[in-house]
Structure 1
Amino acid sequence: MTLQTLIIRYTVFAVIATFMNLFFQRIILIIDNSFPYFVVAVAVGTLVGLVVKYYLDKRWIFFDHKKGIHHYSRQFSLYASMGIFTTAIFWGFETLFWLIWQSHFMREMGAIIGLAIGYGVKYHLDKRYVFSNDS
């Protein structure tokens, strides 16, 4: 795969995962936008985005076709672990923008900025530790 194709695919998949993340957050925040619901919305959105992005990366970025519950559980655990630091970046930006502006639009802008930075870092971690030939 060419570098240009990789960048386009990875960006499109990051946009899809970001959209799914924010979509599920909005659904929850429609019910109530108090702080407890905000925490639940961020957690649910993050989980949905993580699962979507894992599947897309596994299949279309790293071309990993290994199967089996042992392989999936080990690999997904590594994938999620690599996302802890990058999720902190995302949550930090999203929460900071929410606290400063108290606006869902700005919260989502913070989320988008945080996710963009986080996904850039995550690609390199995943390539080295999750989808390496050893895994």
Structure 2
Amino acid sequence: MNILVHYRKWTRMDYLEEISPEPTPLPRRRTHSPAFKAHLVALCKNSAVSVAAIARAHNINDNMLHRWIKEANVNSASPNPVAVPESSFIAVPMPSPPARSAQTASSIHLEFQGKQFNLNLQWPAHDAMGCATFIRDLLK
């Protein structure tokens, strides 16, 4: 007994018709009023809460809120296009240098340590060039 079965070849359109017989409308973008944007930007500037937390609380993507903040800064910028960077200099109080003794101020004190010798040298400060010449000749 032979039974012939005829198989129908399905096309792409058949699958599409089964999945969605009617085209669904595309979602529309949300639009926000300038007052709402200004309110959220002010919240971000005057609050200790993060921008992302404020965005999440108002069902806004945090990147969009960051963009609104940048746009508000650009719109409120001065008409002078030259931006002056803020000073990054921080003054740090320094301790005063220790007072020098009379012997240290009037002489040059050097210590040389080698494998076979140790040399302690005190030279008058007014003859610094002579000290430099002596050390140069010593190290030759």
Query: When the two structures are superposed, what TM-score results if normalisation uses the length of structure 2?
Result: 0.24
More strand by share: 2
Larger RCO: Structure 1 or Structure 2 (Cα < 8 Å, ≥ 6 residues apart)?
Answer: 1
Asked which structure has the greater CA Rg, the reply is: 2
More helix by share: 1
